[in-house]
C-alpha cells in the first residue's frame, strides 16, 4: 500500500460524464515549479479525467504552491 496522500471528492456521487463510469481513487502526479508529487485522486478509470476537490486546491495544494514558490 502506498503512502501517498489520498483525496476524495468534497461530497456527492461523481461519475465521468463522458464515459459514464464511477470515479476511482488512482495515483497521479502533480507538478509544480520543477517538483513532482504523487497523490491519489478521484479519476475516471476509462479516460483518465481527474478531479481536484476544492478543499485540496485551496488547502494542501495552495500551501505546497506557496512553499515551492519560496524555494
Partner 1 sequence: MLEQSQLHAIESRCTQEAAPRCRTACPLDMDVRAFLDHLAAGNMRDARKLLERHLPLPGIMTAVCDHPCENACLRRDLGGGIAVSALERFCMSAVSTQTKPLIRPPKGQKLAVLGAGLAGLTAAFDISHKGFAVTVYHEGEKEDALRAAFPALDDSTMSEDLRALEKFHVSFVSTVLDESLLARCSEEFGAIFVDASVCSFAPAKDAVDGSTLVWKEKICCGGWTSQTPTGARYASASSQAGDGRKAGITIQRLMTGVSLVAAREGENRENRLHTPLDGVSPLPRVVPAGDAYTEEEARREADRCLRCSCMQCVKECPFLQKYKEFPRIYARKIYNNASVVRGTRTANVIMNGCALCGQCEVICPERFSMADLCLQARQDAVERDVMPASAHEFALEDMAQASGPESAFLLEDQNAVAQGTHGTSMFFPGCQLAASRGNQVLAIYRFLREALPGGVSLYSTCCGIPAHWAGREKLFDEHASILRKDWEACGKPEILAACSSCMAALKKALPEATVIPLWSKIDALIAEPFVCSAPKTMSVQDPCGARHDHEWQRAVRSLAAKAGIQIHEATRAGEESACCGYGGLVWNAQPDLADAMAQKRAGEFSFPILTSCIMCHDRFATETESWHLFDVLPQTANADLHQEKSAPGLSARRAGRAALKEAALEEFLGQKPSNRYDNEPILLRIPDSVQRAMECRYILRQDAVEAVAGIEKSGAKFLNRENNHILGSWRPRNVTFWVEYVVDDDGGFTLINAWCHRMVVAGAIQPATKVIMEEKVHA
Interacting residues with partner 1 (CB under 8 A) = 12-18, 23, 28-36, 39, 41, 43-44, 47-52, 54, 57-58, 61-62, 64-67, 69-71
Task: Classify each residue of 19-52 as buried b or exposed e, where b means 16 or more C-beta atoms within 10 Å of its C-beta.
Answer: eeeebeeeeeebeeeeeeeebbbbbbeeeeeebe
CB of 2 to partner 1, least distance (A): 16
Q: Are 34 and 43 in contact (CB under 8 A)?
A: no
CB of 8 to partner 1, least distance (A): 13
The smaller minimum CB distance to partner 1, of residues 3 and 26, is found at: 26
CB of 40 to partner 1, least distance (A): 11
Amino acid at each position: 500500500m502506498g503512502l501517498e496522500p489520498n483525496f476524495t471528492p468534497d461530497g456527492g456521487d461523481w461519475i465521468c460524464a463522458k464515459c459514464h463510469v464511477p470515479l476511482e481513487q488512482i495515483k497521479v502526479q502533480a507538478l509544480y515549479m520543477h517538483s513532482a508529487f504523487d497523490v491519489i485522486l478521484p479519476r475516471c478509470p476509462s479516460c483518465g479525467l481527474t478531479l481536484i476537490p476544492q478543499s485540496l486546491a485551496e488547502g494542501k495544494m495552495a500551501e505546497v504552491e506557496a512553499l515551492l514558490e519560496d524555494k
